[in-house]
Chain A
């Protein structure tokens, strides 16, 4: 019944309505809170801090999937991406743009599936999760200023620590982590949603 309703509203009106805007905003809050909890909880160990794209992708995949499956129109992933970018990627303009680009690409992937194909929805999260790599862009592209800032603000030890665990090419492994996190998150979301829907009947 719910599915029929969604399908009908998607046919009638391509634009997002208030209800869907509320869903998108609320899922955005969920996504951001979960992300902050995970990142702050794991960042005590520097290695886990760099692995955050995997852990966040694993957990937030389900949130993302429920959001786009509930709205099924252009804009859900984009709003989620914008809210994410505002809260997490404001450290440099290129991370902000990168996060927005990831969200737009995810929208495109969903559009390729014509807002119906489940595989495309799952694939879109893999693309969407690339935005987790964007806050780390500082480490590669603005490395000098980042390190200098760390020395002035956080002290030499911290900067040395960062320099040790994060070489210049660190961005590419992180991009890879984001991809892996996206795949794992999509798979987990698939099984979780399937099993809970079955339980609910």
Chain B
């Protein structure tokens, strides 16, 4: 899947504020951790796909929902059949479980990283008077996750060019060597990007204590509030029902 470094929302059907997307992320963390009701979890995942669609990444949204559908379908089939060797069933259901468990987090990360520009993120949180020391690490983290992915592809291509494959058998035979060959180039290319990023931030006066101005106008509109309330309610509902089940046990 191609992840663009800079998120863009030009093709968005509805322009959600980055705070709304952040609320979705937090709510997804709560849901992933506390979901035990399969149907509710699936509905939540579908809603996330719809959100990604609305935010403008239509093709990715379709792809992700197809993946989700396949995973749920296979799992339902395995539950209904209840035959086959235990080992295979356990391993496949383990993989599917991890996938479904991570799905809300993955989707909300996609929503944030693919459809939000970092300056939108910064100015939205600055409008809430959250100190920059908290906002900057989080914003940079979201900005950097796609970059790491890109650098990773680059390193893999460079390794293939030199005839070093990254197949599982090789990794198992030479774990330390593999770590060195992947990690060091990855780290150093990332460090040079960090330095450029820091220089760019300094050049734009991020270090000064004055309030920043921005081309981006950030407003919370009615649909932002509605979405936020819905997602917060979903998060609390999952959390509460999780607690009840835990308490009853």
- Enumerate chain A interface residues (CB-CB to B < 8 A): 16-19, 21-30, 32-33, 40, 43-46, 58-59, 62-63, 66, 70, 79, 82-83, 86-87, 90-92, 142, 144-145, 147-149, 152-155, 157-158, 161, 188, 192, 196
**Cβ-based interface call for B133 (8 A):** yes
Beyond contacts A21-B133, A149-B245: 9 other A-B pairs, Cβ-Cβ < 8 A, are A18-B206, A21-B137, A22-B137, A28-B140, A152-B36, A152-B37, A153-B37, A154-B97, A192-B184
B157 to chain A, nearest CB (A): 17
Contacts of A22 on B, CB cut-off 8 Å?
136-137, 140, 194, 197-198, 201
Residues A58 and B179 in contact in the complex (CB < 8 Å), given A25-B138, A33-B145, A79-B137: yes
Main SS of chain A's interface residues?
helix
In angstroms, how far is the closest chain A Cβ from the Cβ of B215? 20
Tell me the complex Cα distance, A16–B188, Å. Answer: 22
A188 to B34 CA separation, bound complex (whole angstroms): 36
Q: A33-B149, A153-B38, A192-B184 are in contact. Are A24 and B137 (CB under 8 A)?
A: yes
User: Counting CB contacts under 8 A, is B132 at the interface?
Assistant: yes
Residues of B within 8 A of A (CB): 29-30, 32-38, 41, 79, 86, 89-91, 93-95, 97-98, 102, 105, 132-133, 136-145, 147-149, 152, 175-176, 179-180, 183-184, 186-188, 190-191, 193-194, 197-198, 201-202, 206-207, 242, 245-247, 249
Q: A30-B144, A153-B41, A157-B89 are in contact. Are A86 and B197 (CB under 8 A)?
A: no
Q: Is the CB of B98 within 8 A of A30?
A: no
Q: Which 7 A-B pairs have the closest CB atoms?
A: A145-B246, A25-B140, A29-B144, A25-B137, A91-B33, A149-B36, A144-B249
A32 to B113 CA separation, bound complex (whole angstroms): 15
User: How many angstroms between the C-alpha atoms of A120 and B247 in the bound complex?
Assistant: 42
Chain A contacts for B35, CB-based, 8 A = 153
Q: How far is the CA of A45 from the CA of B172 in the complex (A)?
A: 14
Query: Whole-angstrom distance from the CB of A185 to the nearest CB of chain B?
Result: 10
Residues of A within 8 A of B247 (CB): 145
Q: Closest A-chain residue to B208, C-beta based? A: A18
CB-based contact A157/B37 at 8 Å: no
Give chain A nearest CB distance to B33 CB in angstroms: 4
The smallest C-beta distance from B124 to any residue of chain A, in angstroms, reads 17
Do B207 and A62 touch across chains, with their CB atoms under 8 A apart? no
Residue of B nearest to A43 (CB): B98
Docked-complex contact B191 and A157, CB < 8 angstroms: no
Q: Which residue of A lies closest to B194 (CB)?
A: A26
Tell whether, in the assembled complex, residue B29 and residue A43 are in contact, meaning their CB atoms are under 8 Å apart. Answer: no
Which residues of B have CB within 8 Å of A161? 90, 94
CB-CB < 8 A to B95: which residues of A? 43-44
A24, A44, A145, A154: the one within 8 Å of B245 (CB): A145
Q: Name which of A30, A87, A155 has the most chain B CB atoms within 10 A of its CB.
A: A30
Contacts of A192 in B (CB 8 A): 180, 183-184
Cross-chain contact of B94 among A25, A46, A91 (Cβ < 8 A): A46
When the two chains form their complex, are residues A90 and B29 in contact, meaning their CB atoms are under 8 A apart? yes
Assembly CA distance A38 to B162 (angstroms) = 24
Within the assembled complex, what's the spacing in Å between the Cα atoms of A148 and B34? 12
How far does the Cβ of B67 sit from chain A's closest Cβ, in whole Å?
14
Minimal Cβ-Cβ distance residue in B for A164: B90
A69 to chain B: closest CB distance in Å? Answer: 11
Whether A18 and B198, one on each chain, are in contact in the complex, defined by CB atoms closer than 8 angstroms, is yes
Q: Please state if A26 and B29 are interface contacts (CB–CB under 8 Å).
A: no
Contacts of A46 in B (CB 8 A): 90, 94
Are A26 and B180 in touch, CB under 8 angstroms?
no
Report the bound CA distance from A188 to B144 in whole Å: 25
* A43 neighbours in B (Cβ, 8 Å): 94-95, 98
User: How many angstroms from the CA of A17 to the CA of B198 in the assembled complex?
Assistant: 10
B98 near A18: Cβ-Cβ < 8 Å: no
Query: Given the complex, which residues of B lie within 8 Å of A19, measured CB to CB?
Result: 198, 201-202, 207
Residues of chain B within 8 A (CB-CB) of A157 are: 86, 89-90, 93
* Contact status of A18 and B246, CB under 8 A, knowing A26-B190, A91-B33: no
- Knowing A16-B133, A21-B140, the reply to whether A62 touches B98 (Cβ < 8 A) is no
